[in-house]
Amino acid sequence: MTATTDGSNGAFGPRAAAATETGSPDTFEAARRATERATQLLFSRQHSEGWWKGDLETNVTMDAEDLLLRQFLGIGDEKTTRAAALFIRGEQREDGTWATFYGGPGELSTTVEAYVALRLAGDEPDAPHMARASAWIRARGGIAGARVFTRIWLALFGWWKWDDLPELPPELIYFPKWFPLNIYDFGCWARQTIVPLTIVSAKRPVRPAPFPLDELHTDARVPNPPKSPAPMASWDGLFQRLDQALHAYQKVAVPGLRRMAMRSAGRWIVERQENDGCWGGIQPPAVYSIIALHLLGYDLDHPVLREGLASLDRFAVWREDGARMIEACQSPVWDTCLAAIALADAGVPADDPRLVKAADWMLAEEIARPGDWSVRRPELAPGGWAFEFHNDNYPDIDDTAEVALALRRVRHPDPARVDGAIRRGMAWTLGMQSKNGAWAAFDADNTSGFPNRLPFCDFGEVIDPPSADVTAHVVEMLAYEGKASDPRTRRGITWLLAEQEANGAWFGRWGVNYLYGTGSVVPALTAAGIPAAHPAIRRAVTWLESVQNEDGGWGEDLRSYVDPEWVASGESTASQTAWALLALLAAEERGSKAVERGVAWLARTQNDDGTWDEPYFTGTGFPWDFSINYHLYRQVFPLTALGRYVHGTGHVGGPGPGGGTGHGPGHGAP
């Protein structure tokens, strides 16, 4: 069965029509048509195997570092270089800089890396676009002001001195898990990057540079002017002096111990290579792992490096104009579960063959072996789902919760198989609860304050503390599975209520920002039985109403992570408008002025083909430091919100329209 527009199966028919009683007929009809177009569009983008994947757009450091890697390994080719340069040039701003997100300010490290990549591609330093970039770089301190990771790349070619970089010894691999600054104190993404970089830091390789970069220093004679040390009594001062001690150790390290540490780090890297050749399904750790293993003696024809390099090619998105963009990661599991939920909420029958095929694909992606998470949870049985095509070592709690919610929306011909997968995923998720009652993305209790203070770690968040958005998705999943009254769920709810900001919003860790956090938490709380009249829900509603844009939509700029003036401030976007609507609908605000205006904005801004335009970045890897434009967000979230509006539902809690086997939300507030 498939959805029709004549009311024959209920997708856009009598059930939907009855919902007009609490909303404007004109708005409802526009929403119904928009829902139908978006449904058709989303189905048209489903892969024949059942999954969805939108482009994952970040910034040009991915493209620049890809070219630098090829230069370092001696495997560059004219076609790739030309295509990468075409993309990088196209992202340059009028002032000569490159930003980390659409409409954002120029960023120094990004601009340095883009400039160097274009020099490698043959762009001359006196070309107007290059001269503007170098002048801007010098005005902000030159290369010396760039982040550590940028200067590591430059050190590989002799453009920066290894002695002028923070030290990261490979002996770190031997620190026991209870010892401060052991590798498992770092978030999984940082851990996968730091271990290979300990090898690079110890080896200190230099490949002769094809040209100097004097134009990127404020004074080429003193490229790294000395800085005043932080006070001895401060944490920064303590870690600066620790780095000085590590530099001294570098000169006297016992050769046998160092070689053994590097070999151990190398084994650690190889053991974590995925079946597709990548590491963690993420481009940056793969790049550094390849360099580290190559320095340990792996030649480019070795199966580990051959498959690793091949995996990097799969991160390339070739555009019609010949440009080549590199994705930092790929998100098929995440995109597929969100698409399935959106289509189910749009009224597509739960036994639709396309949804069943999506469910089959998700079921096949279940992770059945332990990963790094088991270091802190050795007795916990594996389960759950990762974000990427291949990342069995790092399943994540967020995907697991949303996949479970998606599977319950499908009437699968083998319900026992679905039940078993969800049961294992739920057990694993419950076992990953942190001490404070909340959930993080990949690890439990990954909250040490030390890693972020290392001079080496200036590239974004390096730990994985619990967050409101992930915890909300888990609570919603547990409520749907009949565990709203479970003490572990109640602890999560209590934590969420305590995390509400004074203005009524919740912070968004993995999406921008308070709109994402609030759009995640309110549906979870109401699914778990918190009444719409609860003070926390009413505060959230009041806040959302107060930050609605004049055009009826909602938007929030990434600068909200560093400047309170930007909180819930920005151009209206389809995904963020949808998040606000999901919260308001869950709070039983259907028919309110805010909802009617928001729905009308979504319907009005939809393109004829069912798409929405959204150049703005509404996802995050690290808040502020690494921003993401998920190209499918602009489709799945508006469709979810419109579907719930059209069908008069607030959230997925309770058995889905296809007769899912969940037991529905619990009752009562803590």
At 651, the pLDDT band (50, 70, 90 cuts) reads low
Residue 1 reports pLDDT greater than 50 = no
What's the mean pLDDT when you consider all of the chain?
A: 90
Claim to verify: residue 282 and residue 396 sit in the same structural domain = no
Claim to verify: residue 385 and residue 441 sit in the same structural domain = yes
pLDDT in tens, 462-489: 899 999 999 999 999 999 999 999 999 9
Last residue of a domain, which of 272, 291, 326? 326
Tell me what percent of the residues of the chain surpass a pLDDT of 90: 81
Claim to verify: residue 522 and residue 594 sit in the same structural domain = yes
**How far is the CA of 236 from the CAs of 145, 239, 451, 453, 527, in angstroms?**
17, 5, 12, 7, 44
Backbone φ, ψ for residue 103 (5° rounding): 80, 0
Residue 27 reports pLDDT greater than 60 = yes
Q: What gap in Å lies between CA 664 and CA 670, rounded to an integer?
A: 18
Q: What DSSP element (H or E) covers 272?
A: none
Nearest CA among 400, 409, 469, 422 for reference residue 653: 409
> Which amino acid belongs to residue 29?
E
What CATH number is given to the structural domain containing 89? 1.50.10.20
Tally of domains within the chain: 2
Claim to verify: residue 280 and residue 399 sit in the same structural domain = no
Residue 11 reports pLDDT greater than 90 = no
Claim to verify: residue 27 and residue 71 sit in the same structural domain = no
297 vs 228: which has the higher pLDDT:
297
HSE of 17, CA atoms in CB hemisphere, 13 A: 8
Q: Is residue 661 part of a domain?
A: no
pLDDT in tens, 91-108: 999 999 999 999 999 999
**What pLDDT shows up at residue 7?**
32
Neighbours of 33 (CB within 10 A): 17
Claim to verify: residue 566 and residue 581 sit in the same structural domain = yes
12 vs 96: which has the higher pLDDT:
96
Give the pairing of strands 324-326 and 626-630: unpaired
Tell me what percent of the residues of the chain surpass a pLDDT of 70: 93
**What pLDDT shows up at residue 4?**
34
**Known active-site residue 398:** yes
Task: Give the largest Cα separation in the chain, rounded.
Answer: 79
Q: What is the pTM of this model?
A: 0.91
**What pLDDT shows up at residue 19?**
40
pLDDT in tens, 612-639: 999 999 999 989 889 999 999 999 999 9
Q: Is residue 519 part of a domain?
A: yes
Q: Is residue 1 part of a domain?
A: no
Residue 570 reports pLDDT greater than 90 = yes
Mean pLDDT of 526-547: 97
Residue 352 reports pLDDT greater than 60 = yes
Last residue of a domain, which of 290, 305, 326? 326
Q: Is residue 413 part of a domain?
A: yes
**What pLDDT shows up at residue 22?**
56
Write the DSSP assignment of 495-522 as a string of letters. HHHHH--TTS----SSBSSHHHHHHHHH
Claim to verify: residue 269 and residue 168 sit in the same structural domain = yes
Claim to verify: residue 512 and residue 419 sit in the same structural domain = yes
Mean pLDDT of 133-155: 95
Q: What gap in Å lies between CA 61 and CA 128, rounded to an integer?
A: 21
Claim to verify: residue 154 and residue 35 sit in the same structural domain = no
Q: Which residues of 39-67 are buried (b: 16+ CB within 10 A; e: fewer)?
A: bebbbeebeeebbbbbebbbbbbbbbbbb
Q: What gap in Å lies between CA 519 and CA 507, rounded to an integer?
A: 10
Nearest CA among 597, 615, 611 for reference residue 553: 597
Q: Is residue 654 part of a domain?
A: no
> Which amino acid belongs to residue 437?
G
Q: Which residues of 465-480 are buried (b: 16+ CB within 10 A; e: fewer)?
A: bbbbbbbbbbbbbbbb
Last residue of a domain, which of 326, 350, 380? 326
At 230, the pLDDT band (50, 70, 90 cuts) reads confident
Q: Is residue 101 part of a domain?
A: yes
Choose, from 392, 398, 443, 464, the residue flagged as catalytic: 398
Q: Is residue 657 part of a domain?
A: no
Q: Is residue 660 part of a domain?
A: no
Domain that holds residue 22: 14-54+331-448+462-647
Direct distance between the N- and C-terminal alpha carbons of the chain, in angstroms, rounded to an integer: 42
Claim to verify: residue 219 and residue 152 sit in the same structural domain = yes
Claim to verify: residue 210 and residue 298 sit in the same structural domain = yes
pLDDT in tens, 281-325: 888 899 999 999 999 999 999 999 999 999 999 999 999 999 999
Claim to verify: residue 399 and residue 316 sit in the same structural domain = no
**What pLDDT shows up at residue 23?**
65
